[in-house]
């Protein structure tokens, strides 16, 4: 039996965790529908968690929630907001610090970029510049710039299992846990929340597959098992790049302005996932749920005409 269909613990959960940086586009809605479907067809609770620690656009969270409801999704318990748990995330970092597993980092973005693109650097990975500063050096640097807090990673890579991608090994670097403005970083918050909210099934876009190894490693350090991962292929725009605003009407509201209903959107989302028969509602998606038959290729969005033309 695949991990997805094995019997979950009775309080196990799946989730959708949007960053409220703008309206959800068809790719985000499709991921949400998939996450909801996987949770609902495996007896899990489904949680909606707004990841509002950064990149927040005023009003976007409320609009995200309304759009998810409009396409027929439901969730267990109230909508959750990460910004309400900042002290809790920082406490978990203090525990790691007490165990000697963090260090302060004073690097600017530019310094990190220069060091990471040096020969033998892992592309995009932090090269560990501040790992070995002496206490004296740190004291001096603190007067120049507030530090970020990084994980002192004990491995350089880690392996996870993904329902779609199979075994996947990816880089683990000294990731930022607390940004230098004092805000907990995404990788920390997502791991702490998934672990503590009973999330054992993570369904999200496959742009985040490369982050899964470092997140699973961090979960292990915090004493939690890694969740099952299901990274679904993204929706691409007609040009082959990831779907974006420039591709035309791509949000529920924009499509509604063209005369399309939420049911039309569900029909598109379901068929682009690979649901075999045309369906109109999220409930019908569950009736036709057969992810073994879904395409592993990204879906391509073609601009929609105005309804009725
Ligand atoms: N909040 C993240 C995003 O919208 C997703 C996090 C996750 O699913 O792990 O990109």
CATH H-level, domain 13-78+234-300: superfamily? HUPs (3.40.50.620)
Which tens digits make up the pLDDT trace of 167-196?
999 999 999 999 999 999 999 999 999 999
Residues of the chain with CATH 3.40.50.620: 13-78+234-300, 85-232
Does ligand 1 have an atom closer than 6 angstroms to the CB of 208?
A: yes
Contact present, 277 and 288 (Cβ < 8 Å): yes
Cα 178 from chain centre:
18
Which tens digits make up the pLDDT trace of 60-113?
999 999 999 999 999 999 999 999 999 999 999 999 999 999 999 999 988 887
Nearest CA to ligand 1 atom 7: 17
Length of the chain: 309
Q: Is the pLDDT of residue 123 over 80?
A: no
Does ligand 1 have an atom closer than 6 angstroms to the CB of 19?
A: yes
How many other CB atoms are found less than 10 A from the CB of residue 266? 24
Give the global pTM.
0.93
pLDDT of residue 1: 37
In testing the pocket of ligand 1, which one of 14, 17, 202 has its CB within 8 Å of the most ligand atoms?
Answer: 17
Contact present, 64 and 31 (Cβ < 8 Å): no
Nearest to 202 by CA among 235, 224, 174, 177: 224
State the distance from the centre of ligand 1 to the C-alpha of 134, rounded, in angstroms: 36
Q: What is the mean pLDDT of residues 193-205?
A: 97
State the distance from the centre of ligand 1 to the C-alpha of 22, rounded, in angstroms: 13
Q: What is the mean pLDDT of residues 258-276?
A: 95
Percent of the chain scoring above 90 in pLDDT: 84
How many other CB atoms are found less than 10 A from the CB of residue 291? 20
Whether residue 229 is annotated as binding a ligand: the answer is no
- Ligand 1 atom at minimal distance to the Cα of residue 204: 8
Tell me the chain's radius of gyration from C-alpha atoms.
21
pLDDT of residue 57: 97
Q: Provide the 3-class DSSP secondary structure of residue 309.
A: coil
Q: What is the mean pLDDT of residues 122-128?
A: 77
Contact present, 301 and 237 (Cβ < 8 Å): yes
Angle between helices 86-98 and 186-196 (to 10 degrees): 100
Q: Is the pLDDT of residue 32 over 60?
A: yes
Does ligand 1 have an atom closer than 6 angstroms to the CB of 18?
A: yes
Does ligand 1 have an atom closer than 6 angstroms to the CB of 53?
A: no
Fold category of 85-232 in CATH: Rossmann fold (3.40.50)
Average pLDDT, the chain: 93
């Amino acid at each position: 039996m695949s991990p997805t269909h094995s019997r979950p613990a009775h309080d196990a959960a799946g989730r959708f965790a949007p960053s409220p940086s703008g309206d959800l586009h068809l790719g985000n809605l499709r991921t949400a529908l998939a996450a909801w479907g996987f949770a609902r067809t495996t007896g899990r609770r489904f949680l909606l968690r707004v990841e509002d620690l950064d990149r927040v656009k005023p009003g976007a969270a409320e609009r995200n929630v309304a759009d998810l409801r409009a396409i027929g999704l439901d969730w267990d318990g109230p909508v959750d907001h990460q910004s309400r748990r900042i002290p809790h995330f920082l406490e978990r970092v203090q525990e790691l610090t007490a165990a000697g597993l963090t260090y302060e980092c004073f690097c600017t973005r530019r310094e990190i970029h220069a060091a990471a693109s040096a020969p033998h650097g892992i592309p995009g990975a932090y090269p560990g510049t501040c790992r070995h500063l002496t206490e004296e050096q740190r004291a001096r640097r603190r007067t120049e710039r507030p530090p970020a807090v990084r994980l002192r990673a004990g491995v350089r890579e880690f392996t996870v299992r993904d329902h779609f991608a199979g075994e996947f090994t990816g880089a683990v670097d000294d990731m930022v846990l607390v940004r230098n403005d004092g805000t907990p970083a995404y990788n920390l918050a997502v791991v702490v929340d998934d672990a503590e909210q009973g999330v054992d099934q993570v369904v999200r876009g496959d742009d985040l597959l490369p982050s899964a190894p470092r997140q699973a490693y961090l979960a292990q350090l915090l004493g939690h098992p890694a969740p099952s991962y299901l990274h679904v292929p993204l929706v691409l725009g007609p040009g082959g790049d990831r779907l974006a605003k420039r591709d035309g009407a791509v949000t529920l509201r924009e499509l509604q302005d063209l005369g399309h209903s939420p049911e039309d959107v569900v029909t598109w989302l379901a068929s682009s996932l690979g649901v075999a028969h045309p369906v109109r509602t999220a409930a019908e998606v569950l009736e036709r749920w057969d992810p073994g038959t879904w395409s592993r290729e990204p879906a391509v969005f073609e601009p929609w005409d105005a309804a009725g033309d």
